Structure 1
Amino acid sequence: MATPDFIRTLRADAGRQLLWLPGVTAIVFDDEGRVLLGRRTDNGRWSVIGGIPDPGEQPAECAVREVYEETAVHCVPERVVLVQALEPVTYPNGDTCQYMDTTLRCRAVGGEARVNDDESLEVAWFYVDALPDLHEYSMSRIKLALADGPTWFEPAHQR
C-alpha cells in the first residue's frame, strides 16, 4: 500500500511510534458472483482491495477510490460487512500502525479489471469456490460479505 502524503507528514513528527488509523476494505463482486482480488507488490500475495481514507473522506468514498485506483474497476458500496480494530502492524521500515477497518461489500458497475497502479502485480476476478491462497484476513471478509448477516463487530466486554 502506498503511503498517503498526510501519513508522511505525521511521521515527520511522530517518528516510528504507533499511529491509530482508519482503514477501508472493499469486497467487490461482479454480476457472475466473482470477487475482485489484487496480488500485492509488497508481499506477492493475493488479497482483497483496501486502503487508508484521506482526511475527511467517508469510508464508501474511500472504497470506490481505492478500487478504481488499484484495479480500474468502478464499484458501488452496498453495505457495511465488518468493523474491527486490527492488531498493530510493524512495517519493514519500522513504522507501526494499528487500523480500525471498515469492510464494505461492493458491486462492480463498470471498468475492466487491470493493474492500475504500482500496488498490485496482478488483478483478477475469482469465483468464490476457486480462490487463490489467501490470508485469513481476506477469507473472513469474503465469507462475511457473502452472508446476509448483520454487520460483524467485536462484542463489548461486560464489566
Structure 2
Amino acid sequence: MSTPDFIRELRKHIGHDLLWLMGVTGVVIAEDGSILLHKRADDGSWAPPGGILEPGEQPAQALAREIYEETGVHAVPERIVSVVTEPPFTYANGDTVQFMDVAFRCRPVGGEIRLDEDESLDAGWFAPDELPWMHERVLRRIRHARAAAEETDAWFVPPADPA
C-alpha cells in the first residue's frame, strides 16, 4: 500500500512514533453471497479492500475510492457494520500505527477486477465457505457485514459496566 503524502509529512516530525489513523474497510457482497477480497501488496495477506482516510475525506467516499483503486470494482457502501479501535502495530520499516476502523457492508455496482500492483497482488470473489486465511480481526468484519442484513445496529466494543 502506498503511504499517503500527509502521513509522510507527519512522519518527518514524529519519526516512527505511534500515529493514530482512521481507516475504512469495505466488505463487498455480491448477490450470490460471494465476497470481494484482495491480496495486499504490503504484507501479502488477504483482506476486504479498504484504506486510510485523507484529511477532510468522508468515510463512505474514501471507501468507494479505495475499493475501486484496489480491485477495479465499483461499490456502494450501504451501511456501517462495525466501529472498532484495533491494537497498535508496527510496520516492517518501524512505523507504529493504531487504527480506528469503520467497516461497511457494500454492494457491487459495476467494474471488473483489475489490479493496482502498488496495492494489490491479486483479487477475486470468494464464497463465504471458501475464504482464504485471514486475521481474526478481518474475519470479524466479514461476519458483521454478512449478518448486517438481519441486524439494525453496527457492532462496537461496549464500555465496561460502571456498576
TM-score when normalising by structure 2: 0.93
Report the Cα offset of residue 32 of structure 1: 1.8
Alpha-carbon distance between aligned partners in 2 of 1:70 and 1:42, rounded to the nearest angstrom: 12
In 1: Cα distance, 2:89 partner to 2:133 partner:
21
Matching residue of 1:152: 155
Within 5 A, what are the aligned runs for 1:2-151? 2-147=2-147, 148-149=150-151, 150-151=153-154
Distance in 1 separating the partners of 2:90 and 2:44: 18
What do you get for the CA RMSD once the two structures are aligned? Answer: 1.1
Gaps of 5+ in 1: none
Unaligned 5+ runs, structure 2: none
What letter is aligned with 1:91?
A: Y
**Distance in 1, Cα, partners of 2:128 & 2:114:** 19
Q: CA deviation at 1:6?
A: 0.4
Query: 8 Å contact 2:41–2:117 — kept in the other structure?
Result: no
Amino acid at match of 2:88: P
Aligned residues: 159
CA distance in 2 between partners of 1:115 and 1:153 (Å): 32
Percent identity for Structure 1 against Structure 2: 53
Deviations 1:73-126 (A, max 9, x none): 000010000000110011111111101100011000000012134111101001
SS, match of residue 113 in structure 1: coil
Q: How far is the alpha carbon of 1:59 from its aligned partner?
A: 0.7
State the distance in 2 between where 1:58 and 1:153 align: 20
Structure 2 letter corresponding to 1:127? A
CA contact (8 A) 1:69 1:117 kept: no
